[in-house]
Amino acid sequence: MSASLASRPLRAEVYLSTAQLAAASSLRPEQLARLIRAGLIEPRAPGTGEFTLSTAARLRRMLRLRRDLHVNLAGAAVIVDLVERLDQQEIELGRLRRAASA
Amino acid sequence: MAVKFRDYYGVLGVPRSATADDIKQAYRKLARAHHPDLQPIAERGRAAERFKEINEAYEVLGDVDRRARYDAVAAGHASGADFTPPSGGPRAGRTARPGGWQDVDDAEDVSDFFASLFGRPRGGGRGGREGRVVFPGADVEAELTVTLPNVLRGGRHRITVDGGRSLDVDIPAGVRDGTVLRLAGQGERGPGGGPPGDLFLHVRLAKDPRYRIVGHDLEMDVPLWPWQAVLGDAVQLDTPDGRVTLRVPAGTQGGRRLRLRGRGLPRPGGRRGDLHAVARIRIPERPSAAERAAYEALRRAAAAQAERPARGTA
């Protein structure tokens, strides 16, 4: 794998429409609309009707947690938030450890 | 078709006599502990495999009919032993659908052993594949810390990205702290089978207290004894390129920069910056009697000369 020098951003962020996000998550549009109304899924900015790919990833994760652990989606959203926070801390901790050992 | 026997009781950690409630409890507990979405980043890939096994085991033992069928063929088999499924093939009827990890809408993959007894679940059971929209996958960011010798020579690094996947990356010579490298197609998989995103690798340069980076040049200190500075010497210097001999001219003042051409950081054009060895005069902390006598003689010799203007302070 060879890496090339990049000056960012190389690709504009891809946004999904509500219909695309529903299709990507195997949800019916009205199911997705409910999640959006409940505030469990948020558009990239209010009123845009556009969603980031990380929102799509987050939604898929929530759906997996519901399917596998029988939590409801509100609970899954909390879990996903917490896991994201842990991920950040894990990355930060790794960075600090490397800095300390360098 | 011989397949490997799977010990589903062993996977869930319950005895063969376990009740339905025991099995459910064991499964729920394992599912919580091994769910890939709940693992540290590097362990997600491995957890996904384990989680798939746990689900498959529960799919069988959690269902009265399947459990009975499994028990009937399981007697006397050890985990991993060759297993020849009973003739007649998988029983027709309800197809099993263990929860796999992957995307929620992926076809679930089950072991050959499972399929030999219960059939293979059909993919796209959640509404079919028609009309699916395909998107490019998300870009992923990662960080890599490299050392100065790595930077000078370039070289291969193994990195681990989200999901526990590892990747060998050739780092080009001349990266700097903060350089971003793009690895095309190494980001997240695209939902619905779209092209993967890119991986952006942020390069950090490991701190090395011996060297200072000034533009494309490197700076390092070279400690000299007073007599080396006065009389000149050839000293061994550990540079990021390895050990080199530095010629110290006679009469080298503290702070003087001795240049080693072309031993700095790579420049865009391919040439390299310089390495500057900065003379630092050090004195013996505990001079021996002989050294003391020599310094006293030096003092007398200096005093005998007319007062010289002292340049700088030692």
Cβ atoms A80, A56 nearer than 8 A: no
CATH class of A15-101: mainly alpha
Domain closes at, from B205, B234, B251: B205
Local confidence band at B181 (pLDDT 50, 70, 90 cut-offs)? confident
Mean pLDDT score, B223-233: 95
Range of the domain at B52: 3-118
| Residues B281 and B194 reside in one and the same domain | no
Which of B34, B53, B133, B168 is best to mutate for the A interface (most A CBs within 10 A)? B133
How distant, in Å, are the alpha carbons of A17, A45, B107, B157 from that of B194?
Answer: 16, 25, 16, 28
The secondary structure of residue A14, as a DSSP letter, is P
CA B154: distance to chain centroid?
A: 17
Contacts with B116 (C-beta within 8 Å, 6 or more apart), sequence order: B1, B3, B83, B85, B89, B90
pLDDT at B266 over 80: yes
3 state SS of B143: strand
Angle at A35 between CA B31 and CA A32, to 5 degrees: 100
Q: Which residue has the tokens 């010579």?
A: B173
- pLDDT at position B15 is 93
The secondary structure of residue A41, as a DSSP letter, is S
pLDDT averaged over every residue in chain B = 80
Question: Does residue B10 lie within any of the structural domains?
Answer: yes
Cβ atoms B264, B218 nearer than 8 A: yes
Question: Does residue B132 lie within any of the structural domains?
Answer: no
pLDDT at B97 over 80: no
- pLDDT at position A94 is 87
Q: What is the 3-state secondary structure (H, E, C) of B35-68?
A: CHHHCCHHHHHHHHHHHHHHHHHHHHHCCHHHHH
| Residues B13 and B70 reside in one and the same domain | yes
Write the pLDDT tens digit of every residue in B76-93: 776 666 777 666 555 544
Nearest in space to B260 (alpha carbons), one of B279, B270, B273: B273
CATH of the domain at B110: 1.10.287.110
Among B43-47, B190-194, B199-203, B302-306, name the one with the lowest average pLDDT.
B190-194
- pLDDT at position B208 is 87
More confident: B258 or B207? B258
Cβ atoms B203, B181 nearer than 8 A: yes
Helix (H) or strand (E) segment spanning residue A51: strand A50-52
Tell me: cis bond preceding B85? Omega within 30 of 0 counts.
no
Cβ atoms B282, B225 nearer than 8 A: yes
The secondary structure of residue B295, as a DSSP letter, is H
| Residues B22 and B91 reside in one and the same domain | yes
Residue among A11, A69, A83 minimizing CB distance to B139: A11
- pLDDT at position B128 is 38
Local confidence band at A8 (pLDDT 50, 70, 90 cut-offs)? very low
Which of A28, A52, A54, A68 is best to mutate for the B interface (most B CBs within 10 A)? A68
d(CA B129, CA B119): 21
Local confidence band at B94 (pLDDT 50, 70, 90 cut-offs)? very low
Q: Copy the structure tokens of residue B103.
A: 């995307």
Cβ within 8 Å, pair A86-B40: yes
Shortest Cα distance from A8 to chain B (angstroms)?
A: 8
Cβ within 8 Å, pair A4-B184: yes
Nearest in space to B213 (alpha carbons), one of B146, B281, B153, B273: B273
d(CA B280, CA B246): 14
Local confidence band at B192 (pLDDT 50, 70, 90 cut-offs)? low
| Residues B147 and B85 reside in one and the same domain | no
The secondary structure of residue B264, as a DSSP letter, is S
- pLDDT at position A3 is 58
More confident: A53 or B311? A53
CATH of the domain at B181: 2.60.260.20
- pLDDT at position B309 is 60
Mean pLDDT score, B48-53: 88
Cβ within 8 Å, pair A3-B169: yes
CA B126: distance to chain centroid?
A: 37
Cβ within 8 Å, pair A3-B183: yes
- pLDDT at position B92 is 42
d(CA A55, CA A69): 21
pLDDT at B314 over 70: no
- A72 CB neighbour count, 10 Å cutoff: 11
- pLDDT at position B108 is 54
| Residues B172 and B232 reside in one and the same domain | no
Local confidence band at B104 (pLDDT 50, 70, 90 cut-offs)? very low
Residue among A20, A68, A83 minimizing CB distance to B135: A20
pLDDT at B159 over 50: yes
Write the pLDDT tens digit of every residue in A13-23: 678 888 888 88
Among B98-107, B131-140, B232-241, name the one with the lowest average pLDDT.
B98-107
Domain closes at, from B65, B83, B118: B118
d(CA B276, CA B279): 9
d(CA B110, CA B101): 11
Q: At what angle do helices B20-34 and A53-69 cross, to 10 degrees?
A: 160
Question: Does residue B131 lie within any of the structural domains?
Answer: no
- pLDDT at position B95 is 45
Helix (H) or strand (E) segment spanning residue A5: strand A4-6
- pLDDT at position B93 is 42
pLDDT averaged over every residue in chain A = 83
- pLDDT at position A98 is 86
More confident: B29 or B98? B29
Mean pLDDT score, B158-162: 75
Quote the pTM value.
0.48
Domain closes at, from B118, B153, B176: B118
Write the pLDDT tens digit of every residue in A76-95: 999 999 998 998 898 889 88
Mean pLDDT score, B289-299: 93
Which amino acid is present at B107? A
d(CA B251, CA B244): 21
Local confidence band at A24 (pLDDT 50, 70, 90 cut-offs)? confident
Q: Please report how many Cα atoms fall inside a 13 Å half-sphere around the Cα of residue B106, on the Cβ side.
A: 17
Number of separate domains in chain B:
3
CA A45: distance to chain centroid?
A: 15
- Chain B residues with CB under 8 Å of A61 CB are 37
Cβ atoms B196, B134 nearer than 8 A: no
- pLDDT at position B171 is 81
Q: What is this model's ipTM?
A: 0.76
